[in-house]
Amino acid sequence: MSTSTRKLLAVFAHPDDESFICGGTLAKYASSGVEITLVSATRGEMGRRMGNPPYLNRETMAAARELELREACKCLGVQHLQFFDIRDKTVEFVDPDQLSDRIAGLIREVDPDVILTFHEQWGGHPDHCAIGKATAEALARTGLKKALYYISFGDSLAYPESFGYTREDISQINISKFKKAKLAAFRAHRCQTEMDEWVWLPDKQAMNRLGDYEYFIRGNEEALRRDRSDLF
Amino acid sequence: MNPIIQSEVEELLRAFVGEEIHVHSEATSYVFVRNFKLKLTQAFVAGEGPFRVAFRFDHIGWLRMEALTHYELDHEDRLLLAGYDDRGRMNVALHLGKEPFAE
């Protein structure tokens, strides 16, 4: 085992992907000293939720969501944040070759042990699928042996058979001690969560709505070699 | 953003009539067009809230949108119209500016 700092690179599409989907896992590893770099391909500026009551419009949204993401990063312990400045909803129309090259450069620069991104098929939004596909391709281009995982929503992968996976394909991370940080990150994304009443209940009640586990599809041989309860 | 008052929006639209303008128009879940350039020849506001807004442009063009509820003249003198639902979600947007919007 190397004694150097463990590193994680997360390549996502929108501000809030990191919090809503795998905020507990990011908080857990950050608290154990993992250095985390987050990429948000867009600023989520084409989102539909504008606060409740609404206080944003299309032209003010990018700056507001950037601020919210910076705040969420503080809640989770994410140290480094980069934007790719792609317009929200257009990631799939960016030149895929250039996008993969850009991500490959970042993988070489950050030199992470673990990479998180979206599954190109199960991503759930065209931007998610596109950034996931480009990231997997980028890792292949580097030829580096990094563990690649695909993030998943909620506990849909508690029963992976319906997606054609076995339990062996899935890592499950216990985040039960990190719900406070995850909830704080949800609240940091205020314009997106303001209409969800449960987020603003007293802490304990709100935290009860968060699952104890976050699930990840193991995306390559490096990931499959790891223990199922730990990404590293 | 402020709830639309028809007479005020009509007054603000007058500043763009006869001008070359850039428009951002979207039906949020389905389509957006950003930075199309047109010469606005007429602008209409109709309804009792939510409102309908229609433009005539370049002699042959129509742009019509409905479900607009709010407006604002921002610090760059762009007229921003939007339609929100009762939980703050945007359904439609119609923005006019004399300069291009951020790409």
**Where in chain B are the domains?**
2-97
pLDDT band at A4 (very low <50, low <70, confident <90, very high): confident
ipTM of the prediction greater than 0.85, yes or no: yes
Q: Using the Cα atoms of residue B30, residue B34, residue B37 and residue B41 in order, give the sign of their dihedral.
A: positive
Helix (H) or strand (E) holding A138, with range, is helix A126-142
Taking the C-alpha atoms of residue B55 and residue B42, their distance in angstroms, rounded to an integer, is 6
- Per-residue burial over A19-39, b = 16 or more CB atoms within 10 Å of its CB, e = otherwise: bbbbbbbbbbbbeeebbbbbb
Q: Are A174 and A214 in contact (CB under 8 A)?
A: no
Residue-averaged pLDDT of chain A: 96
Residue given tokens 């620069």 in the structure block: A109
Say if residues A15 and A65 touch (Cβ distance below 8 Å).
yes
> What distances in angstroms separate CA B58 from CA A103, A156, B38, B63, one per listed residue?
43, 52, 6, 11
Report the first-to-last Cα separation within chain B, whole angstroms: 22
Residue percentage of chain B with pLDDT more than 90: 98
Q: Which CATH superfamily is domain B2-97 in?
A: Hypothetical protein YojF (2.70.180.10)
Answer whether residue A73 shows pLDDT above 70: yes
Taking only the tens place, the pLDDT of each residue in A175-201 is 999 999 999 999 999 999 999 999 999
- Whether the CB-CB separation of A40 and A81 falls below 8 Å is answered with yes
pLDDT at B84: 98
Rounded distance between C-alpha atoms, residue A208 and residue A206, angstroms: 5
Q: Where are the domains of chain A?
A: 7-224
Q: What angle do CA A15, A170, A185 make, to 5 degrees?
A: 25
Selected for mutation to probe chain A from B87, B96, B99, B101 (highest A CB count within 10 Å) is B87
Neighbours of A85 (CB within 10 A): 11
HSE, CB side, 13 Å, CA atoms: give it for residue B7: 0
Rounded to an integer, what distance in angstroms lies between the CA atom of residue A71 and that of residue B5?
36
Q: Average pLDDT in the A147-155 region?
A: 95
More confident residue, A155 or A199: A199
Collect all residues with Cβ–Cβ distance below 8 Å to A71 and sequence separation of at least 6: A188
Nearest to B88 among A59, A60, A194 (CB): A194
Max Cα distance, chain B (Å): 39
Q: How far is A121 from chain B (nearest CA, A)?
A: 21
* Tokens coding A173: 């991370």
Q: How far is A130 from chain B (nearest CA, A)?
A: 19
A23-57 pLDDT tens trace: 999 999 999 999 999 999 999 999 999 999 999 99
A2 — pLDDT class (breaks 50, 70, 90)? low
Nearest CA in chain A to B76: A59
Region at B23 (left for phi over 0; alpha for psi -120 to 50; beta for the rest): beta
pTM of the model: 0.94
Q: Are A59 and B26 within 8 A, CB to CB?
A: no
In chain A, whose CA is at the least distance from the CA of B81?
A57
Confidence of residue B10 (pLDDT cuts 50, 70, 90): very high
Determine the pLDDT at residue B7.
97
SS in 3 state form for A108-127? HHHCCCEEEECCCCCCCCHH
| Whether A8 contacts A216, CB under 8 Å | no
Using CA atoms, how far apart are residues B39 and B18, in angstroms rounded to an integer?
Answer: 6
Residue B35 clears pLDDT 80, i.e. is over it: yes
Q: What is the rounded CA–CA span in Å between residue A153 and residue B39?
A: 46
CB contact under 8 A, A194 and B26: no
Please check whether residue B81 is in contact with residue B75, taking contact to mean a CB–CB distance below 8 angstroms: no
**Domain A7-224 top-level CATH class:** alpha beta
